[in-house]
Amino acid sequence: MSLYTITHHTEYHYEEDVILGHNQILMTPPSNEDQTCFSHETLIDPLPDCYRERTDYFGNNTRYFSIERPHRHLKVTAVSKVQTAPARSTSLDDSPAWEETADSIQKSNDISCIESSLPSHFTPLQSQSSAQEILQNCFPPGRPVLRGAMDLALLVKKEFIYDTKATHILTPLARVLRTKRGVCQDFTHLCLALLRSLGLSARYVSGYIETIAPAGRPKLQGSDASHAWFSVYVPSLGWFDFDPTNGQARSEQYIETAVGRDYADVAPLKGILFGGGSNTMKVAVDVLPDLRP
């Protein structure tokens, strides 16, 4: 098991007064079979005029706040202490064939399972020949579903280039497929679209991953970042997570904050502002090992 203290700091500066701002935060790690959240604190500056917590449709810990007076900056800092569990030892090749899995899902009465197999706004079905080639390579007839999911993550890692300047939130998947460039969000959306096109249930997972500093060099403060990966559902076995950006299954280095159909459901911080003009944003994330319980 690994224990971490995660600090996620977001800061906005506005050119003009923001008269009113409504915001939603999804930065609270849940406690589940993969991790235990011992503590969480959210600090907001300016102090909000309205603040409340709730559990959203997908079971995520959600915080809502509004600032109802003029302001030119917003700082949100989320600090969590989380212990992650060792990865499950399920053999990828012992999972059922993907066709059997898809058939079980489509016959299921579980609404959440079925809706995770359907396209969403950021994961439209892909009909390009390149998409079909990926599916044929990773999911030939009879391939165990978890082995296919791992092969998909490995293929994206091998053939796609991580490039922070290549895409933005509205970049269509067709372009990602064509250029083979993007970031973790793009690669996760691509995998979701491909898996769902087979009738499989897959969801978007938002969270963090610990990065390791080069040997002999200290880890830079703020060098970590929020991360994204995908999760595949196997009836009777549960959800299994894979990271296409790094070409690996989830390990103790991963900390989950939220799940949903795509990025729109799990954005760490989003809102509606009245006023403000142009703005600048700064984000810093630290995922630090913690030896204290």
| CA–CA dist 158, 173 (Å, integer) | 18
What is the Cβ-side half-sphere exposure of residue 176, based on CA atoms within 13 angstroms?
A: 29
| CA–CA dist 121, 25 (Å, integer) | 21
| CA–CA dist 135, 154 (Å, integer) | 13
For 171, other C-beta atoms within 10 Å of its C-beta total 18
Map out the domains of the chain with their CATH numbers.
Answer: 2-85+267-289 (2.60.40.2250), 92-263 (3.10.620.30)
| DSSP H or E segment with residue 191 | helix 184-197
The tens-digit pLDDT sequence of the chain (293 residues) is: 789 999 999 999 999 999 999 999 999 999 999 999 999 999 999 999 999 999 999 999 999 999 999 999 999 999 999 999 988 878 899 999 999 999 999 998 899 899 999 999 999 987 788 899 999 999 999 999 999 999 999 999 999 999 999 999 899 999 999 999 999 999 999 999 999 999 999 999 999 998 876 666 666 444 578 999 999 999 989 999 999 999 999 999 999 999 999 999 999 999 999 999 999 999 999 999 876 55
| Closest-CA residue to 150 (of 261, 234, 263) | 234
pTM score, whole prediction: 0.93
